[in-house]
A and B are shown apart, each in its own frame.
Chain A
Amino acid sequence: MDSRQKEIDSLKDYKYGFSTDIENTKAPKGLNEDVIKFISNIKKEPQWMLDFRLKAFERFKQLKEPDWQKPKYPKIDYQDLYYYSAPKSMKDKPKSLDDLDPKLLETYKKLGIPLQEQARLNGIAVDAVFDSVSVATTFKEELTKQGIIFCSMSEAIQKHPELVKKYLGSVIPTTDHFFATLNSAVFTDGSFVYIPENVKCPMELSTYFRINASETGQFERTLIIADKGSYVSYLEGCTAPMRDENQLHAANVELIALDDAEIKYSTVQNWYPGDKDGKGGIYNFVTKRGLCKGKNSKISWTQVETGSAITWKYPSCILKGDNSIGEFYSIAITNNHQKADTGTKMIHLGKNTKSKIISKGISAGKSDMMYRGLVDISSKADNSRNFTQCDSLLMGNKCGAHTIPYIKNKNLKSNIEHEATTSKISDEQLYYCNQRGLNQEEAVSLIVNGFCKEVLQQLPMEFAVEAQKLVGISLEGSVG
């Protein structure tokens, strides 16, 4: 039993706990106008972009950090963070993968994301974000042929200012909440996607984020625009190296779907959750919002959240266009001392709008899980519908699971359905699986994957397998 326990312990040690020694270019510590100008300057941004940032910063100064969320965290000193850090070797921009700093490539290899193989074998165009600067974009040419733009946000600001100007901040304005506004002021980089009218993006677009430099908050900004009649599926996957200090991650993701367009956004988030005593780990305070702007448009969020010390996010859909559809499929797993306060918001504005929420929360160890969701059907959203299903699975008796649905229906012709269940993995189920030759970990993984099935089915194939493994790995050592 002892050797078994050791094995479990070693497995539990975070696989991606290493950091690459690359000299960084850093902005001076602290948050002020000069730092924002420094960021804008180093990225050679046009004046309108700097104005956007400064406007957000002005607003930020008036905002108070929210504290209504369930997971509390020690106060963050925003003057004690670095807001910009770029690998130095990026000064002369690499022309191709071969030009990359071998150490960067090595880091990705350890993460199990060999860019070339990944790109070639999976047919995925990978826009890798290392700390704050995008270092490689593959398959660009192929996408360009169809008029698809897939590049870093910095590049988009330079090359496609008309699109960025029009849509950046149109879903998450510079006057939004505390963290979103902070992001608007200091965001460093991220991905930009534009799919032209009637184009179906021929491959899954994918970004892997990675937090690397010590004491660096990550402020990613992602903007995806699907023009009329277009379709895109976007995958985001994350891992981060081990750190003792807590690291703030406050990204903004904006999606815009015009008439008859569809955006599918999938996330697998596996950031460092802290050690088993609750030390360290990422604060994942991300704002993700999609606007179904056009009629018959559709936005679908799928998330598998297994990492981070605290996950605090509500990927949302604003269903503005008539007949538009919003979907949210979520698996959130917390173990040890992890905490999550996550869910979605479905704002029905247009007529005949539909939304569907399937949330699967799994808590183990001493962790705490909260589903918080808003369904708001406005008075003009005739014949709209929402279906919500919220299931919680508890493992052990030291963890918690909570569900708070906020339901507002201002339209008599519309209706909202909410179902919720809470269950436990029983010893009898585990015994049954053990008797059929599965060890404890395999048994837990099988049962939990069954519990999450409806959500896992929503993930693109290549991601689903990875996610299934991750579900198992995240819960290793949580039973018996």
Chain B
Amino acid sequence: MLSIENLKAKIDEKEILKGLNLNIKPGEVHAIMGPNGSGKSTLSNILSGKKGYEINGKVTFDGENLLELETEERAHKGIFLAFQYPMEIPGVNTNTFLKTSINAIKKARGEKELDAIEFLKLIKEKSAELKFDEKILNRQLNVGFSGGEKKKNEILQMSILNPKLSILDETDSGLDIDALRIVSEGVNSLRNKNNSFLIITHYQRLLDYIKPDFVHVLKNGQIIKSGDFELAKELEKVGYEDFN
């Protein structure tokens, strides 16, 4: 589904990714762990199409050259990024944002757009599934949300858009145990043989709930080791500094 070959990226002349390789097949859950500044967020930004990077290498998604697609086209093809810092958009109701988003994607795919009633039904269903307080959806998008509410809102969006590849960029940082459980349940409920996940995190904590198929260690712009869940445990013991 996703194949990354020798990916290099620079921003402001500074090299951040230095030849990264990664393959994700349908249904797989990959976790990327690494210290601060190792290039984790850069990787998620490049995959989702943030501008401003000088990029070399090859990235294909479902056989297509991903790097040629606009940010929104990637979203239409099923790439979702749960942001580390979700943006506030004053005056825009969270519901309105979600409806605009899902219908923009449906329209691009040539599917029938949801009307108000169908949308509300979907929202109700998904909020209940995630035990998410619906009241929050009537508030302005992320404005005045607590850190946990913002992250939960990202997961709700993810579960509504039902993406093929979900990238979670440090979604677990700053979450309490309850919020962490909601985030994990969100991921687990979407897990099936078609949907894949790339979970970026500092800690093993989230992985205890999600149980990834693969764990990769990103250090200094490259994946230096890959393994299964055991690798995360090892990493937690040894620490990034001494891990080689």
CB neighbours (8 Å) of A440 from chain B are: 72
CB neighbours (8 Å) of A428 from chain B are: 87
Q: Which residues of chain A from 425 to 471 have any CB-CB distance to chain B below 8 Å in the complex?
A: 426-429, 431-440, 442, 446-447, 449-454
A440–B75 alpha-carbon span in the complex (Å): 13
Q: Is the CB of A438 within 8 A of B104?
A: yes
A440–B70 alpha-carbon span in the complex (Å): 10
A447–B88 alpha-carbon span in the complex (Å): 10
Chain A interface: which of B4-12, B89-97, B210-218, B227-235? B89-97
Contact with A along B94-111 (1 / 0, CB 8 A): 001100111011001000
A432–B51 alpha-carbon span in the complex (Å): 12
CB neighbours (8 Å) of B71 from chain A are: 431, 434-435
Q: Which residues of chain B from 149 to 207 have any CB-CB distance to chain A below 8 Å in the complex?
A: 157, 161
Nearest B residue (CB) for A451: B91
Q: Is the CB of B50 within 8 A of A442?
A: no
Nearest B residue (CB) for A436: B101
Q: Is the CB of A435 within 8 A of B91?
A: no
A453–B140 alpha-carbon span in the complex (Å): 11
Nearest A residue (CB) for B106: A437
CB neighbours (8 Å) of B96 from chain A are: 446
Question: Does B49 interact with chain A (Cβ within 8 Å)?
Answer: yes
CB neighbours (8 Å) of A435 from chain B are: 48-49, 71-72, 74-75, 80-81, 83
A438–B97 alpha-carbon span in the complex (Å): 10
Known: A439-B104, A450-B140. A434 touches B90 (CB 8 A): no
Q: Is the CB of A434 within 8 A of B87?
A: no
Q: Is the CB of B140 within 8 A of A439?
A: no
Q: Is the CB of B101 within 8 A of A429?
A: no
CB neighbours (8 Å) of A451 from chain B are: 90-91
Q: Is the CB of A434 within 8 A of B100?
A: no
Q: Describe A's contact surface by its main secondary structure.
A: helix
Q: Is the CB of A429 within 8 A of B87?
A: yes
A437–B83 alpha-carbon span in the complex (Å): 14
Q: Is the CB of A450 within 8 A of B81?
A: no
Nearest B residue (CB) for A442: B104
Nearest A residue (CB) for B102: A437
Nearest A residue (CB) for B83: A432
Question: Does B86 interact with chain A (Cβ within 8 Å)?
Answer: yes
Q: Is the CB of B89 within 8 A of A436?
A: no
Q: Is the CB of A446 within 8 A of B97?
A: yes
Most B CB contacts (10 A, CB to CB) among A433, A435, A451, A453 go to A435
Minimum Cβ distance to chain B for residue A35 (Å): 49
Question: Does B76 interact with chain A (Cβ within 8 Å)?
Answer: yes
Q: Is the CB of A450 within 8 A of B101?
A: no
Nearest A residue (CB) for B81: A435
Q: Is the CB of B90 within 8 A of A438?
A: no
Q: Which of A427, A436, A454 contacts B104 (CB 8 A)?
A: A436
Q: Is the CB of B105 within 8 A of A437?
A: yes
Nearest B residue (CB) for A439: B72
Known: A437-B108, A438-B104. A429 touches B89 (CB 8 A): yes
A432–B48 alpha-carbon span in the complex (Å): 10
Q: Is the CB of A446 within 8 A of B89?
A: yes
CB neighbours (8 Å) of B70 from chain A are: 434, 439
Minimum Cβ distance to chain A for residue B219 (Å): 27
Minimum Cβ distance to chain B for residue A436 (Å): 4
A434–B105 alpha-carbon span in the complex (Å): 11
Which residues from chain B sit less than 8 Å from chain A, CB to CB? Answer: 48-51, 70-72, 74-76, 80-81, 83, 86-92, 96-97, 100-102, 104-105, 108, 140-141, 157, 161
- Further contacts, 11 of them, CB under 8 A, given A435-B83, A436-B105, A454-B91: A429-B88, A432-B83, A434-B72, A434-B75, A436-B97, A437-B72, A437-B75, A437-B76, A442-B104, A446-B96, A447-B92
Q: Which 3 pairs between the two chains have the least Cβ-Cβ distance? A: A450-B91, A450-B92, A434-B71
Q: List 11 A-B contacts (CB under 8 A).
A: A429-B89, A431-B51, A435-B49, A435-B81, A437-B104, A442-B100, A446-B92, A446-B100, A450-B140, A450-B141, A454-B91
